[in-house]
Amino acid sequence: MKFSMARKFAFQNLKANRILEIPFVLSSGIMLMLFNIMISLINNKYVQTRHKTLPELITMGAVVVGIFTIIFVMYTTNFLLKKRNKEFALYAILGLEKKHIRKIISIEFFVLFSIIAILGMVGGYIFGQISFLGLNRLMHDVTGRIMDYPFSITAMIVCSITMLGLYFITIARSSYRIYMTTPVQLLGKQHSGEGEPKSRFVLTIIGLAALCGGYGIALTTEGTLSALVNFFIASLLVIAATYLLFISFSIIILKMQRRRKSYFKPEKFLGVSGLLYRMKSNAVSLASIAVMSVGIIITLSATATIYSNIQKNGDSFIAFSRDYILTSDTAVYENNFKDIQKNLENRVSQTVTGKAKIKDSFIELSMNPAVAKKGNSIETYTRDAKTSPYFMFTYDLASYNKKLNKNISLKDDEVLMTSNRKGALNMSSLKIGDRTFKVREIDNKILSSANVDSYALVVKDLSTMQYIASVLKTYNIQNKTMENSSIKCSIEWNVSGINKNSYDRSLSKLKNDNGYTLESRVEVLKGLYELNGGFLFLGVLIGIIFLTGTILVIYYKQISEGYEDREKYQIMKKIGLNDDLIKKTGASQIVWMLYAPLMVAIVHCMVASKIVYQLLKMFGVNQFTQYGTYFGLVIGVFFVIYFVIFKMTSRTYYKIVK
C-alpha cells in the first residue's frame, strides 16, 4: 500500500472516529500543557534565583503530573484500540495485510500525538505566563513580570520526548494486538467481558478487611508525626479496598436486586441486567472515578486551607514578637551566659550608627527537647515510647514578660504552661525528674506558629532551665548518645529611624558570621508564602489533572456503554421498546454511574478528614473548622461540576444508543 492511500484511510478514520478522538486530544493536551508549565517553571531563572524551596516543590509536582499523564494517555489509547477491533477485523477480511493496517494506525496516531504536542507546547507557553503571574501573586511577589517567563526550550524537548515515547509505545501495542490475533479473535474482543461475573466473596472479605483497616488507622491516629506515616498506609488500604469492593461487593448487591419483585419491571430489568453483565469492566472505572474524586477533594481542600491559614495569621506571626532575631549557636551555662549576652548585644548595636535606633530588644533563653507525657509526668522521649512525641519549647520568665509585655512572677516550684493541641494540657501539676511544679495555664500565643505537637513551658530562671535540660535529654546523632538538652541564647529587636530595606541589606554581615543564626520576620513570612503558595499552586494543578482524568473516564465509560447498548436496544426496539423506556433505563443506572462513586468518595474524604487535619497541623492549622469550611466548599463545587459532566456525557450516550 502506498503512503498516499494509507494517509487517505487514516484521515477518513480520524473523521469517522472524532467522537472518541477529540476528547482524547483535548484531555491529553491539557495534561501535557500542565506538564510543560511545570517543567518551564523548574528551569525558569527567575524562579531559581528568587525562590529557594519552590523549584523542589514544582519538581515533585512535575513527577506526579508526568506519571498521571502517561497513565491516562495509555488508558485512553487502549480504549481507542479496543473500540476499533471490529474495524481492524474488517480491514483484514477485505484483504488488507497487517503491515498495511499498522501503517494506517501509525499515521492516525502520529496526527493525534502531533496535535497533542502542539496544544501542550503552545498552551503551556500561553497559560504558563498566566500561571507564572498567579504563582507570584500567591507568594506575594509583585516583581515578577511576563518577560520573566520566556519560552522554555528544555520544556519543549522534554514534552516532545514524552510524546514521542508514548507514540512508539502506542504503535508497538497496536502492532502486537494486530499481529498476534486473527480477525475472528478481534471481532470477539469487541464483546469481551460481557459474561456474567461471579460473586467473589473472598475478594469482598479482603476488601472489607482493607477498608476497616484503612478507616481504623485514619480514625485512631493521634499526633502529627504519627499521621505523617500512617496516612500513606491508610491511603493504600482504602484504594485497594475501593477497587476490590467495586469489583466484588457491587456484583453481590446487583444479584440481590434480581431477587426482588420489582426487578421484573422493564426499566429495572434492563438497568440491573445491563450493569451486571458489564460490571467487570465498569467496576474498575467506577472505582477509578471514586479514587480520583477523593484526590481532587482532599488535595484542593487541604492546600486551600494551608494557604488561607497563612493569609489569616501571617502578619501576626507571634514567634516573631520583634522584627529580627539573632541566635548564638553556643550552648548556655551559668558561667558563660553573661558573655554570650554581651556578644549578642554588641553585634546588634554595630548594625546601626546610634544605639537609640535599636528598640524593644530583649534577651531570650530557650530549648526544645522531645518529650513523652505519662500522666502528669514529662520524660525524655525514646524510640520505644508507646506515646507520640511532643516538643517541649522552654523559655525563661524574663523573656516571656518582655515578649508579650507581661509582668508575671513565679515561685521556685511554679511554671507557666500551654499546648498547641486541644486537650493536651490537662494537669494541675507537672513532674520533671525529682521536682514537681505547680502548673499555671496560659493562652496559646507563643506556640501559634508551632507545626508539630508541642508544649510551651515558661520557667523562673536559668538555673531551673538547666535542671530541666539535665533531665529531658536530647539524642546526639553524631555521638549516638543521650546528652543534656542544649540551651540557646538569642536577642530580639526592632529598629526605628532607619530605612528597613537598606537595613536588611546591611545585615548581610551578621548572616555570614559563623556561630550565629539571623532570622527576620520579613524573610520568614516570605518563605511561608513561598512554601504555602507553592503548595496551593501544585494542589490546583494536580486537582486539574485528577478532574481531567475523571471527566475522561466518565466520558469513555458512557461512550463504551453506548456502543455496547446500541445493538441491544435496536433489537429491543424491534420488539416494542420505546424511547421513553430507554431514558428510564438510563436513569436507573445513575445510582451506579453517578452517585455510587461520588458517595463513596465523600465517605472516604469524611473519614480521612481527621488524619488530614492532623497533617495540616504541620502547617500551623490548629482549628478543624478552618479545614472543614474548605472541605465542604470543595465538595459542593465538585458535586456541581461532576453532575454537569455526567449530564453532558449522558446526552452523548443517548445519541449513540438512539
DSSP H or E run through 361: strand 358-367
Higher pLDDT among residues 41 and 307, named by residue: 41
For residue 28, which amino acid is it? S
Q: Look at residue 206 and tell me if it is in a domain.
A: no
Q: Look at residue 112 and tell me if it is in a domain.
A: yes
What percent of the chain is modeled with pLDDT above 90? 17
Residues 188 and 334 in one domain: no
Q: Which of 458, 488, 514 delimits the end of a domain? A: 514
- Examine the pLDDT at 487 and tell me if it is beyond 60: yes
Q: Look at residue 259 and tell me if it is in a domain.
A: no
438 forms bridges with which residues in the sheet?
414, 429
Higher pLDDT among residues 491 and 265, named by residue: 491
Burial 436-450 (b: 16+ CB within 10 A, else e): ebebeebebbbbebb
Q: Look at residue 21 and tell me if it is in a domain.
A: yes
pLDDT in tens, 540-562: 877 887 787 777 777 777 776 67
Interatomic CA distance for residues 324 and 478, integer angstroms:
31
pLDDT band for position 449 (cuts 50, 70, 90)? low
pLDDT band for position 607 (cuts 50, 70, 90)? very high
pLDDT in tens, 247-292: 777 676 666 666 666 555 555 555 666 666 666 566 777 788 888 8
pLDDT at position 193 = 46
- 22 close to 127: Cβ distance less than 8 angstroms: no
Q: Look at residue 338 and tell me if it is in a domain.
A: yes
Q: Look at residue 290 and tell me if it is in a domain.
A: no
Q: Which of 192, 217, 233 delimits the end of a domain? A: 192
Q: Around Cβ 573, how many Cβ atoms within 10 Å?
A: 15
Mean pLDDT of all residues in 371-397: 82
Going 83 to 86 to 89 to 93, the CA torsion angle's sign is negative
- Examine the pLDDT at 191 and tell me if it is beyond 90: no
Which of the 8 DSSP states describes residue 387? S
Mean pLDDT of the chain: 80
Higher pLDDT among residues 568 and 63, named by residue: 63
Q: Which of 192, 223, 258 delimits the end of a domain? A: 192
What Rg value do the Cα atoms of the chain yield, rounded? 32
- Examine the pLDDT at 80 and tell me if it is beyond 50: yes
Interatomic CA distance for residues 145 and 164, integer angstroms:
33
Number of domains present in the structure of the chain = 2
Q: Look at residue 187 and tell me if it is in a domain.
A: yes
pLDDT in tens, 11-22: 888 888 888 788
Interatomic CA distance for residues 305 and 576, integer angstroms:
56
The answer to whether the predicted template modeling score (pTM) of the entire model surpasses 0.75 is: no
- Which of 271-285, 390-404, 443-457 is predicted most confidently? 390-404
Interatomic CA distance for residues 484 and 395, integer angstroms:
16
Interatomic CA distance for residues 158 and 156, integer angstroms:
6
- 75 close to 554: Cβ distance less than 8 angstroms: no
- Identify the weakest region by mean pLDDT among 168-182, 236-250, 463-477, 600-614: 168-182
- Examine the pLDDT at 85 and tell me if it is beyond 80: no
Containing structural domain, residue 179: 1-192
- Identify the weakest region by mean pLDDT among 118-122, 303-307, 422-426, 535-539: 422-426
- 284 close to 243: Cβ distance less than 8 angstroms: yes
Residues 6+ apart with CB under 8 A from 368: 391, 392, 393, 394, 485
Q: Look at residue 622 and tell me if it is in a domain.
A: no
- Which of 6-20, 263-277, 448-462, 585-599 is predicted most confidently? 6-20
Helix, strand, or coil (residue 429): strand
pLDDT at position 211 = 93
pLDDT at position 574 = 66
Residues 6+ apart with CB under 8 A from 229: none
Higher pLDDT among residues 156 and 49, named by residue: 156
Q: Is 208 exposed, middle or buried (0-12, 13-18, 19+ CB in 10 A)?
A: middle
Interatomic CA distance for residues 102 and 556, integer angstroms:
24
- CA angle in degrees (0–180, nearest 5) for 112-114-119: 95
Higher pLDDT among residues 211 and 650, named by residue: 211
